[in-house]
Amino acid sequence: MILDGKCPSGPIAGKWEKHRHEMKLVSPANKRKYRIIVVGTGLAGSSAAATLGELGYNVEAFCYQDSARRAHSIAAQGGINAARNYPNDGDSVYRLFHDTVKGGDFRSREANVYRLAEVSGNIIDQCVAQGVPFARDYAGYLDNRSFGGALVSRTFYARGQTGQQLLLGAYSALSRQARAGNVRLYPRTEMLDLVVIGGEAKGITVRDMVTGKIRCHAADAVCLCTGGYTNVFYLSTNAMGGNVTAAYRAYKRGAFFANPCYTQIHPTCIPATGDHQAKLTLMSESLRNDGRVWAPKIRGDRRPPQEIPEEERDYYLERKYPSFGNLAPRDISSRAAKEVCDDGHGVGPGGRGVYLDFAGAIERLGEDTIRQRYGNLFEMYERITDENAYKQPMRIYPAPHYAMGGLWVDYNLQSSIPGLFVLGEANFSDHGANRLGASALMQGLADGYFIIPCTIAHYLAQTRPDAVSAGHPEFVRSVEETETSIKRLLSINGRKTVNEFHRELGSIMWEHVGMTRSRESLENALRRIPELRAEFRENVRVPGREEDLNQELEKAGRVADFLEFAELLARDALYRDESCGSHFRVEHQTEDGEAVRDDANFCHVAAWQFRGADKEPELHTEPLAFENVRLAVRSYK
Amino acid sequence: MDLTLYVWRQSGPASAGRLEEYRAKDITSDMSFLEMLDVVNAELVRAGREPIAFDHDCREGICGMCSQVINGVPHGSREKTTVCQLHMRRFRDGDTIYIEPWRAKAFPVIKDLIVDRSSLDRIMQSGGYVSAHTGGVPDGNAILIPRDDAETAMDAAECIGCGACVAACPNGSAMLFAAAKVAHLAKLPQGRAEAARRVCVMTEAMLKEGFGNCGNHYECQAACPKGIKVKFIAQLNREYIKAHLKDGRDT
């Protein structure tokens, strides 16, 4: 099937305006008759739930954490982009749009990206109005910094905790609506199934993580704002609880999964130290504003960094990409780091690291300025590594960080199941094959504050409110199926822990479906994942009871889904026989190791449809047309 | 290194809890405290016993989910550090470590080391916000905020809502938590319009939830992983008095 993204016609700059005018509205008096479920309370979920509640809809918001404020958007450090051109350095909506399309290596949908750039400024205003304490200059104006993949300063920030402050802003708006009775919050609740009735999404099945009770919630529309799936690699910068379960179970109910192979490996993370490692910690990309990345020129050089003279250091990003230098996009920087380490120039344990050096910046600007800009990041680095980055360079290495792929959505953020909307990282639409820094926060909030309130009304206006109740047979069936699969997990009583399986899956994925991929590595992964999955089904040990707070059971359900989803990811990576953005197939590269796209055959979205357990999914495509940005070879030299 | 742990185990809110003894073996100094517990839990699962339940998520010190009292100190003895960012290099081979949940009237234990902190959410819901509608707000630069004010607001806004301040307080007071939000918003022009109402309703909500009052022990500041200062409590008090003088409310 050829999928239709349903982008409005006409010139790109007028599409959203025109579309907003053409969409149907729900009258103020009727809004409260509609119930909307929002799953996940990160930037996308909190902003959506708060805004929809404020508009008068009956909203139920769910999260697996103990409070909506703890969703993993909270950990975003560096900043949020907006095309405000406050520094007068030549920025514009068009330039942000252009940078994002180019940064995504021409694999995103133009109309969506333009709209994102268009509303980016409103997001900053909204957050300021909520009391987000963005950095200011002495005159009291908003301050900006630069991020990778851009030559302008358009990133707004709140120290190294921008995500935290934006999320707390959205959480405060959400709290206000909870108080007003427009939003009902369900923390410590995990979505385990999507209920589809008559081809439309009509509710979800959840597990109360305290009592273990499985129950249903019926609604007129469902918004999934459940984040990305990078924990499929086991070690990633995501929160421990981050999972693909909600999205994957929606996929099993008919929602198409688009471009799962687009996974971002972030270049600046703290290297792993051993097998016990539970997760990896990111050091904000903003550090690359003042830090210089280098590795020793001599292979296996074990001298302390301070003793390596200037001429024996390879500032490889500055050397290879003179115009963007240390601010080259994430995919390029990550691969470059892996390359120098594979070539024997890596530093630290196992040679898996490169230096991020602030000595020059400290000499130029003084330690106080650097402390003011990045103090909390340097502290975090010190706590984890016991090293003082003011005195010696940080050691960094790439780590899985973000999923550009996600459930397929059209321009209205509606999935292939009517009534199921997907927002934020959980959808696929805006970042193509690589996301630029400080764009995730922008997208989450754009979707939640400004896009879904318009597009969901268009859907609801054509739907009768309260059409089904939670007593409908489909809900009963969903509860039964969910209970059965939980019982099955608990009854296996094998010899390996859930974590052991997860770690093994992660090592397959990192080794064979990680930063560089080949036909051989992917075929290898596609052999090993089903084997591991089969072993999991026979040999996992999940202790405890179902009707109790049971963290091993929670993990087991998520890892079971990762074990299925990983195969879809690898399959998509094998199908995409080109290199683009984060997806690097060794068969397709230039002599100096840059990605080579195949626009003739792959200038499209690959969206997969579930065809049954252990069966091959069916592929659908959405052609991508580039009418405003010239399809070109991405160059950051 | 090998360690002896005494961990609080409690199967549910209504059951009695007790400290149980566990051995943590072959722990390396670069492990985080929670990774050490992961190792202990893996052993428990293999032995067919129930692992220790504890809250955690981001493991980078920002989500505020982790919440353990280690040797009597919320988040352990390293200052400005959450449990998840505490590393085993702070401990020595042969050490004995006591691990307990947050203890406060307003934080009932759910299981083992997990407590119910929804009372903090309800304090926020009472008025911890600016009543800004989505859309229809002025340009971000139309509201000028002197750098120092923005920085002070940020100092308060850094609160991660973990509740260590409550756990550390002999009165089980959430004063530092409430004050951080009151001060953050009161410092900014956007938040001034509702400052008087906000401080009153948040204080009221705090007492209603069963949190105690501030006795100026300053234990909260010492325990706070984000280094939030008690000076914000002074500001809460100032805002509170101002609100009552202004409205002629009955104190």
Q: Which amino acid, residue A634?
A: R
Q: Considering only residues 565 to 624 of chain A, which have any Cβ-Cβ distance to chain B shorter than 8 Å?
A: none
- Residues of chain B in contact with residue A141, where contact means CB-CB under 8 angstroms, are 141, 144
Please give the CATH topology (third level) of the domain spanning A266-401: Flavocytochrome C3; Chain A, domain 1 (3.90.700)
The residues, ordered by sequence, that sit 6+ positions from B21 with a Cβ below 8 Å of its Cβ are B4, B5, B6
Instruction: Give the neighbor-by-neighbor strand order of the sheet with A221-224.
Output: A183-186, A58-62, A35-39, A221-224, A420-422
pLDDT averages per 10-residue partition of chain A, 637 residues: 96 97 96 98 98 98 98 94 96 97 97 98 98 96 89 93 97 98 98 98 98 98 98 97 98 98 96 91 88 96 95 96 90 92 93 95 95 87 94 96 98 98 97 95 98 98 92 97 98 97 97 96 98 98 96 98 98 98 96 92 98 93 96 86
- Residues of chain A in contact with residue B111, where contact means CB-CB under 8 angstroms, are 548-549
State the Cα angle at B95 between B89 and B97, rounded to 5°. Answer: 95
pTM: 0.97
Instruction: Give how far Cα A474 sits from Cα of A200, A384, A478, A492, A604, Å.
Output: 12, 49, 6, 27, 35
Residue A372: per-residue pLDDT: 83
A68 shares contact with chain B (CB less than 8 Å): yes
Residue B251: per-residue pLDDT: 45
B87 shares contact with chain A (CB less than 8 Å): yes
User: Which residue, among A70, A127, A167, A498, would best test binding to B if mutated, counting the most B CBs under 10 Å from its CB?
Assistant: A70
Residue B43 has pLDDT above 90, yes or no: yes
Residue B250 has pLDDT above 60, yes or no: no
Residue A465 per-residue DSSP state? T
A210 shares contact with chain B (CB less than 8 Å): yes
Dump pLDDT digits (tens) for B103-141.
999 999 999 999 999 999 999 999 999 999 999 899 999
Dump pLDDT digits (tens) for B18-36.
999 999 999 999 999 999 9
Residue A78: per-residue pLDDT: 84
**Residue B249 pLDDT grade (very low, low, confident, very high; cuts 50, 70, 90):** low
Residue A466: per-residue pLDDT: 87
Q: Considering only residues 23 to 52 of chain A, which have any Cβ-Cβ distance to chain B shorter than 8 Å?
A: 47, 50-51
User: How far apart (Å, rounded) are the C-alpha atoms in residues A7 and A25?
Assistant: 19
- Residues of chain B in contact with residue A173, where contact means CB-CB under 8 angstroms, are 129, 132, 134
One-letter-per-residue 3-state SS of chain B: CCEEEEEEECCCCCCCCEEEEEEECCCCCCCEHHHHHHHHHHHHHHCCCCCCCCCCCCCCCCCCCCCCEECCEECCCCCCCCHHHCEHHHCCCCCEEEEECCCCCCCCEEECCEECCHHHHHHHHHHCCCCCCCCCCCCHHHCCCCHHHHHHHHHHHCCCCCCHHHHHCCCCECHHHHHHHHHHHHCCHHHHCCHHHHHHHHHHHHHHCCCECCCCCCHHHHHCCCCCCCHHHHHHHHHHHHHHHHHCCCC
Nearest to A260 by CA among A553, A554, A619: A619
Q: Among the options A145, A159, A330, A528, which is catalytic? A: A330
**Helix, strand, or coil (residue A495):** coil
Q: Considering only residues 282 to 321 of chain A, which have any Cβ-Cβ distance to chain B shorter than 8 Å?
A: 282
Residue A160: per-residue pLDDT: 85
- Residues of chain B in contact with residue A65, where contact means CB-CB under 8 angstroms, are 57, 63, 65
B182 shares contact with chain A (CB less than 8 Å): no
Nearest to A107 by CA among A637, A636, A631, A635: A631
A173 shares contact with chain B (CB less than 8 Å): yes
- Cβ distance B147 to A276 less than 8 Å, yes or no, reads no
Q: Which amino acid, residue A161?
A: Q
- A330: annotated active-site residue: yes
Find where tokens 């330039």 sit: A95
What CA dihedral angle connects A269, A271, A275 and A278, to 10 degrees? -20
B201 shares contact with chain A (CB less than 8 Å): no
- Cβ distance A136 to B124 less than 8 Å, yes or no, reads no
B116, B117, B143: residue with CB nearest A128: B143
- Mean pLDDT of all residues belonging to chain B: 96
What domains appear along chain B, each with residue ranges and CATH number?
3-111 (3.10.20.30), 117-247 (1.10.1060.10)
- Cβ distance A274 to B110 less than 8 Å, yes or no, reads no
Per the CB < 8 A criterion, the answer to whether A497 and A541 are in contact is yes
Question: Can you give the residue ranges of every domain in chain A?
Answer: 266-401
Nearest to A337 by CA among A358, A320, A316: A316
User: How far apart (Å, rounded) are the C-alpha atoms in residues A634 and A103?
Assistant: 8
pLDDT > 70 in chain B, percent: 98
Find where tokens 């009517």 sit: A418
Burial A501-526 (b: 16+ CB within 10 A, else e): bbbbbbebbbebbbbbbbeebbebbb
